[in-house]
Structure 1
Amino acid sequence: MKERPARVAVIGSLNMDVVVQTSRPPQMGETVLGEAVHFIPGGKGANQAVAAARLGAHTEMIGSVGCDPFGQSLLESLQKSGVETTAVKTVSTAPTGVASIQLSGGDNSIIVVPGANSHCLPEDVEAGRERIAGVDVVLLQLEIPLETVMAAARTAKELGKKVVLNPAPARELPGELYRLADVITPNRSELELLSGHPAQEEELAEAMQVLLDKGVGCVVTTLGEEGAAILSAEGFRRVAVHPVDVVDTTGAGDAFNAGLACALSEGLELAEAVDYAGRVAALAVTRLGAQEGMPTRREVEDFHGTERKDDK
């Protein structure tokens, strides 16, 4: 990776994650006793910004929080990790976004209440235009209004920046957004929704081709413990997983996307960037909490996994 640090702008959500640990998830209508509750700074946008900053990137965050203690905590968490928060606005008309996360057996289910994230508007992107102009890669997700995501992607392309789109939570997207994205990073279920095509192993490449045909520069599908798959003009290939002992998968996708954005900003080829992103995600899931679990650059550079599966 080149000597100049990565420069990344993240435009997206900031949430307080209320994480409840249980031995097993309750059935509908059932009450179970929880083992612990944690209040952890989160939100896909903020998670990705913290991850990028910990990887050594100059990281700009554009988003919105409420005028409440949760909002202040989220800003402090970003600043502590080295994220530039000048473009994060505070609104008095909505509370800070909250994610209710149920964690059991190393897996999770999540309910998000957007709150102030709904007030991250296209004019906020325009207000942050100068900050976007100073980065290499703009990283986007879908926990803020779609019109804001569109404005961010358009602004990035006008300024000659690379756009990485993490299409989560999954939803139908306008055709223009595909054409604006240099890289789109769905997981398997998101790929199925976006492509309208089954995305199991034997059909994976065909489903990814649907997105490529929509005008995306390349498709990177995250496959959890199976690693990742890449489809671009150069063809289809798999990138191996880095096996670890999983503690908490919350934020794994955010870690991956931040790692990918940083690696692309520093000039790595796509397959190398995806491998680097996989190492970032692998380390992140060995720790509790999305932002608190994000690894440093040194940790990622020192990590190579054990019994790594061969690339296919």
Structure 2
Amino acid sequence: MSRNGILIVGSLNADLVVRTDRFPAPGETVRGSTLATLPGGKGANQAAAAALLGGDVTMLGAVGGDAHGELLLASLTDAGADVSQVRVVDGVATGTAMITVDAHGENSIVVSPGANDELSVDDIEGSESFRDRAVLGLCLEIDLGVVAAAAGRAHAAGATVLLNLSPYAAVPADLLAVTDVLLVNEHEASLLLSVDVESATPWAVAAAFANHGIRRAVITRGAEGSLVFDGDEVSTVAAVAVTAVDTTGCGDAFMGALAVRLAAGDGLADAAGFAAAVGAFAATKEGAQSSYPTLAELDAFRADSARDDR
């Protein structure tokens, strides 16, 4: 294990994806495309995104002893991640996400946790993967007690704890106290801070973060780019303009890319700029992990985007 390595503790899901012209109204049935079964889950997506970009990534989680679990392990292995810390739980279904994607690339998702709920504090306490890691990546698609245990152990080991507050849940102050970088979208930030982030000034948002003990955070704002809060500095990172095909997993791509650049020693604003390009690339292709770029693909995409901006 290397000191610039990344540990992702989180969920692994099989994504069952159907495309349709529009989302159905309550009680309505609409016709969709052929069902696609793809590797997903916020934790696995973040690990795959980081590994494809050249990160030294270990995934810690749980899958069922079924075909979906095999799919997820194979996808992460192909991306270059270490899956030796993913526990296979026999007799339990792998986590599953039912995803509908409309003609504008927007998505609607329902998640069945499955084996993700089998991940326990014992798995955290018994793992050797927290040694010498530069960054720990966390989301809230697993048990909050497991998230807190992982954050506490990584913090004690000197790693940067990167917490993605998604899907949103109220989190205890002691978890925020050991979080080094918080990643949220505008909706999540507003819920956490009890502030209308969209209408508030960046300095008011920074003050609200400080009141919660948070000094480093990134708020993603879709086409409006990102706001980066780094100590006393507030900066804006522009979005990369693309025509969205499917936004599933774009936030996870951003998270994985952010982890890679933080592990490499980048400042938060520079890391967020890199992550913005990765998230934009992911929006141009279908699926989550299947849409993530290698470093070479990202370099070509950024070069093309720079030419288009001239």
Structure 1 stretches of 4+ with a deviation exceeding 6 A read none
Q: 1:251 to 1:5 in 2, by over 3 A?
A: farther
Residue 15 (structure 2) aligns with: 17
Residue 40 (structure 1) aligns with: 38
1:175 to 151, 173, 176: 173
Residue 55 (structure 1) aligns with: 53
Q: Supply the distance in 1 between the matched residues of 2:195 and 2:4 (Cα, whole angstroms).
A: 35
Residue 254 (structure 1) aligns with: 252
Deviation string 1:28-62 (CA, Å, 9 cap, x unpaired) is 00011112321010000000000010000110000
RMSD: 1.7
Q: 1:308 to 1:177 in 2, by over 3 A?
A: farther
Q: 1:263 to 1:102 in 2, by over 3 A?
A: same
Q: Supply the distance in 1 between the matched residues of 2:309 and 2:151 (Cα, whole angstroms).
A: 36
Residue 106 (structure 1) aligns with: 105
Give the Å deviation of 1:80: 1.2
Unaligned runs of 5+ in 1: none
| Contact 1:51 1:295 (C-alpha < 8 Å) held by counterparts | yes
Compute the TM-score of the two structures, normalised by the length of structure 1.
0.94
Q: 1:275 to 1:146 in 2, by over 3 A?
A: same
| Contact 1:54 1:295 (C-alpha < 8 Å) held by counterparts | yes
The reply to whether residue 121 of structure 1 matches residue 120 of structure 2 is yes
Give the Å deviation of 1:119: 1.0
Unaligned runs of 5+ in 2: none
Q: Supply the distance in 1 between the matched residues of 2:69 and 2:29 (Cα, whole angstroms).
A: 30
Residue 192 (structure 2) aligns with: 194
Q: 1:274 to 1:37 in 2, by over 3 A?
A: same
Q: Supply the distance in 2 between the matched residues of 1:174 and 1:154 (Cα, whole angstroms).
A: 12
Residue 276 (structure 2) aligns with: 278
Deviation string 1:198-225 (CA, Å, 9 cap, x unpaired) is 1114445424532332122311001111
Determine helix, strand or coil for the equivalent of 1:185.
strand
Aligned pairs, how many?
305
Give the Å deviation of 1:5: 9.5
Give the Å deviation of 1:233: 1.6
Q: 1:20 to 1:5 in 2, by over 3 A?
A: farther
1:234 to 232, 235, 247: 232
Residue 88 (structure 1) aligns with: 86
**Residue type of the alignment partner of 1:118:** D
Compute the TM-score of the two structures, normalised by the length of structure 2.
0.94
